[in-house]
Amino acid sequence: MTNQTVRTAVKKSNRIFTIVDQEGDLMIYSTKVGDEVVSFGGNITKENGELIIKNFDVDGDLTNKLGIRGLKEIIKEFGARQGVHKVIIEGAKRTTGTNLGKFHSIDI
């Protein structure tokens, strides 16, 4: 699957988000992009129309192909399905890629 195919699949989706595992506010979801599965999750709470995901982590063979733009599109759609106007991601410590050991946060 090329990066262009991945981006197209992200933009034109009616994707289904499935809870794979849950313990308290720690939730792991999966969704398909094309024929591949991406899993993501963390400690998820809702406050004042915002979805907050602490210790956010993402996994799957497609993760690096999605890039930040593709991942943002998935999370934006996930937030809309959760009925919120904003998603705040407080990332877990990086274990791969650049900036190993660093924490990242973004608002979507």
Whether the Cβ atoms of residue 57 and residue 78 lie closer than 8 Å to each other: no
**Closest C-alpha among 32, 31, 2 to residue 19:** 31
Q: What is the pLDDT of residues 12-68, one digit of tens each?
A: 567 899 999 999 999 999 998 888 889 999 999 999 999 999 998 888 777 677 777
Alpha-carbon separation of residue 68 from 3, 5, 7, 14, 21 (angstroms)? 12, 15, 11, 20, 24
Domain ranges of the chain: 3-107
Q: What is the pLDDT of residues 60-101, one digit of tens each?
A: 777 677 777 888 889 999 999 999 999 998 876 666 666 666
